[in-house]
Amino acid sequence: MHNNWNKTTIIFSLGADSAHPVKVTFQNAVPAPDTKQIENFGGILAQLTGLPFQSATVAKQDIVA
């Protein structure tokens, strides 16, 4: 019997200082986020925090055990 684990991590970078950004990390929030979803949620985080949205990094892991 095999178990499949899918893990998606999204790291949002916010703030005006690119040398010291504020990073917000979400794991397993969306199984397969597309570019538009990430941009939209980055905009929501920017509105909530008052910090400009800089970028996002998406990492996906598929593990079979």
Q: Hey, what domains does the chain have and what are their CATH numbers?
A: 4-64 (3.10.20)
Reported as a single tens digit per residue, the pLDDT across 12-30 is 999 999 899 999 999 987 7
Whole-prediction pTM value? 0.82
The whole-angstrom separation of Cα 57 and Cα 38 is 9
Residues of the chain with pLDDT under 50: none
According to DSSP, the residues that pair with 61 across neighbouring strands are 7
For the chain, helix, strand, coil in percent to 5 are 25, 45, 30
